[in-house]
Amino acid sequence: MDKKKDKREVIAVRIFKILFLIYIVLFISKASGYYEFQTHKQVELNEEAMRKFESDVSDGKNVTLTDYIKERDIKYNNKASDIGYSISKEIGYILTNGIDSTMSFLGQLFQS
């Protein structure tokens, strides 16, 4: 019994350490201004595109929206997201089947 308890404690401590490490990393990135810098870069790009648009309109050029707005197509596919998606699909499948079987069991119980 003590081995199981010890193993659970070790796992809990590891999870806590990982969560604490994630918290520290996020805190440092916020404190260092990384997020604000990324937002500032995006604002600068937008202001630059607006200035270019205004100058092209005043010059009488033929303008289209796609010339000034650059869509960022970010690919979020990686091993971790694929594993997370697979796990969430399996959990959804298990829960759906579990609820369905529970409801059918209860239905049979009350019909008799």
- Sorted by sequence, the CB contacts under 8 Å of residue 108 that are 6+ apart come out as none
Whether residue 106 is contained in a domain is answered as yes
Whether residue 104 is contained in a domain is answered as yes
Whether residue 40 is contained in a domain is answered as no
Contact 49, 68 (CB under 8 A): yes
pLDDT at 74: 67
Contact 14, 24 (CB under 8 A): no
How far is the C-alpha of 107 from the C-alpha of 104, rounded, in Å? 5
Whether residue 50 is contained in a domain is answered as no
Whether residue 82 is contained in a domain is answered as yes
For residue 91, give Cα distances in angstroms to 14, 40, 63, 80, 102.
24, 40, 50, 16, 16
Whether residue 99 is contained in a domain is answered as yes
Whether residue 108 is contained in a domain is answered as yes
State the residue range of the domain holding 94.
75-112
pLDDT at 13: 92
| pTM recorded for the entire structure | 0.36
Task: Evaluate if residue 69 carries a pLDDT over 60.
Answer: yes
pLDDT at 106: 85
| Mean pLDDT value across residues 44-67 | 78
Task: Evaluate if residue 1 carries a pLDDT over 70.
Answer: no
- Counted domains in the chain: 1
Mean pLDDT lowest for which of 17-31, 50-64, 77-91? 50-64
pLDDT at 49: 77
> For the chain, what is the mean pLDDT?
81
The DSSP call for residue 66 is G
